[in-house]
């Protein structure tokens, strides 16, 4: 099966790296020089410069441009795709249906870990292609189907934007270790190992149980947790998801 990615940016490349292991991958973009650079990184892909009347008839398209570019790129597409997969944050199935012709439509929300085939991807759309959508996006990590676009917009906040939120935590933990006197290289190495080990633990344990198992009476963890609570970190994490979800809804209304 051939997949046609439209857009050659960060996410298109992340997806292509995983998908190329199983599928033929074509990337269509507006700048041939950028496309040639992408081909140097992923030699097995085909590249094609976006035409003013780009024929997508019968193709399985993964749409990878920024949400604000939907209208201008859609105006350059001709024919009816077989499936249109869209990774555009906030952009509704209704808006896609109005602007790009396709037999089936699926919204997809991957994350940056697609570049290492570890994305937590959410899918929703036409149920006729649910199984195929699963099969395709399991090549870039874990894929979960949800029944509503509201759920996909929430997933955008927690799994799409989530890696950036964790980056702030990782950086801050390392900064704390450096502030206490550990060198940066060792601090970063420890934080990397911390996330790796924690991800494994989280596969089979509730976070509250893991926390309780670390927190000794009158110990170091309890002292640290009390400081975290002073800063209302949990409350602000909840607010961050709320804000990111609201933004996805706002993008969808534009
Ligand atoms: N970054 C992330 O972690 C995630 C992003 N997403 C979604 O993925 C999509 C792409 O994001 P990302 O890859 O990060 O962004 P990038 O800016 O890296 O890539 C955007 C791509 O769109 C192309 N493009 C923009 N405007 C036009 C236009 N008018 N005509 C033709 N091509 C155009 C750009 O072309 P050019 O290179 O020539 O400028 C570029 O190839 C977004 O919709 C975002 O919501 C979803 C999940 C996670
Ligand atoms: O920030 C954004 O809008 C995109 C969508 C999810 C992750 N990045």
- Segment-wise mean pLDDT, segments of 10 residues, the chain, 254 residues: 97 95 97 98 97 98 97 98 98 97 98 94 98 96 97 98 98 98 98 98 97 98 98 97 97 86
Nearest CA to ligand 2 atom 3: 89
Strands 2-6 and 24-29, sheet pairing: parallel
* Predicted complex ipTM: 0.98
- Ordered strands of the 102-109 beta sheet: 46-49, 24-29, 2-6, 60-63, 81-86, 102-109, 119-125, 141-145
Q: What ligand 2 atom has the least distance to the C-alpha of 67? A: 3
11 labelled ligand-binding:
yes
Instruction: Check residue 69 and give its pLDDT.
Output: 96
Give the Cα separation of 175 and 187 in Å (integer): 8
Nearest of 180, 12, 35 to residue 108 by alpha carbon: 12
CA distances from 133 to 10, 13, 60, 164, 178 (A): 21, 19, 11, 26, 44
SS3 122: strand
Give the Cα separation of 32 and 193 in Å (integer): 40
Instruction: Check residue 238 and give its pLDDT.
Output: 98
Q: What ligand 2 atom has the least distance to the C-alpha of 161? A: 7
Instruction: Check residue 254 and give its pLDDT.
Output: 76
Q: What ligand 1 atom has the least distance to the C-alpha of 13? A: 13
Compute, in angstroms, the gap from residue 159 CA to the centroid of ligand 1: 18
Query: Which-ligand-closest: CA of 62?
Result: 1
Q: Give me the residues paired with residue 84 across strands.
A: 61, 105
Instruction: Check residue 253 and give its pLDDT.
Output: 87
Query: Which-ligand-closest: CA of 86?
Result: 1
Can you say whether residue 65 is alpha, beta or left, with left for phi > 0 and alpha for psi between -120 and 50 degrees? beta
- Helix (H) / strand (E) containing 216: none
Domains and CATH numbers, the chain: 2-146 (3.40.50.720), 162-253 (1.10.3730.10)
| C-alpha triplet 148, 76, 247: angle, nearest 5° | 35
Buried b / exposed e along 196-217 (16+ C-beta atoms within 10 A): eeeeeeeeeeeeeeeeeeeeee
Instruction: Check residue 52 and give its pLDDT.
Output: 96
Give the Cα separation of 239 and 251 in Å (integer): 18
| Cβ(87)–Cβ(69) below 8 Å | no
């Amino acid at each position: 099966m051939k997949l046609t990615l439209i857009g050659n940016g960060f996410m298109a490349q992340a997806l292509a790296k995983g998908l190329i292991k199983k599928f033929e991958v074509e990337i269509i973009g507006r700048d041939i020089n950028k496309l040639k650079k992408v081909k140097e990184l992923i030699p097995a892909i085909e590249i094609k410069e976006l035409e003013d009347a780009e024929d997508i008839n019968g193709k399985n398209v993964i749409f990878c441009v920024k949400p604000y570019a939907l209208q201008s790129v859609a105006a350059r597409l001709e024919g009816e795709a077989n499936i249109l997969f869209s990774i555009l944050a906030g952009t509704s199935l209704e808006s896609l249906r109005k602007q790009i012709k396709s037999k089936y439509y699926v919204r997809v929300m991957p994350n940056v870990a697609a570049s290492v085939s570890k994305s937590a991807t959410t899918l929703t759309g036409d149920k006729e292609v649910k199984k195929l959508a699963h099969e395709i996006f399991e090549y870039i990590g874990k894929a979960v189907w949800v029944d509503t676009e509201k759920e996909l917009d929430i997933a955008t906040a927690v799994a799409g934007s989530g890696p950036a939120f964790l980056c702030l935590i990782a950086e801050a933990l390392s900064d704390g270790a450096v502030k206490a006197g550990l060198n940066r290289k060792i601090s970063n190495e420890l934080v990397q190992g911390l996330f790796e080990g924690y991800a494994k633990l989280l596969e089979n344990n509730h976070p509250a149980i893991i926390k309780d198992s670390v927190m000794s009476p009158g110990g170091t963890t309890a002292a640290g947790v009390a400081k975290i609570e002073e800063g209302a970190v949990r409350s602000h994490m909840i607010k961050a998801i709320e804000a990111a979800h609201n933004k996805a809804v706002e993008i969808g209304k534009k």
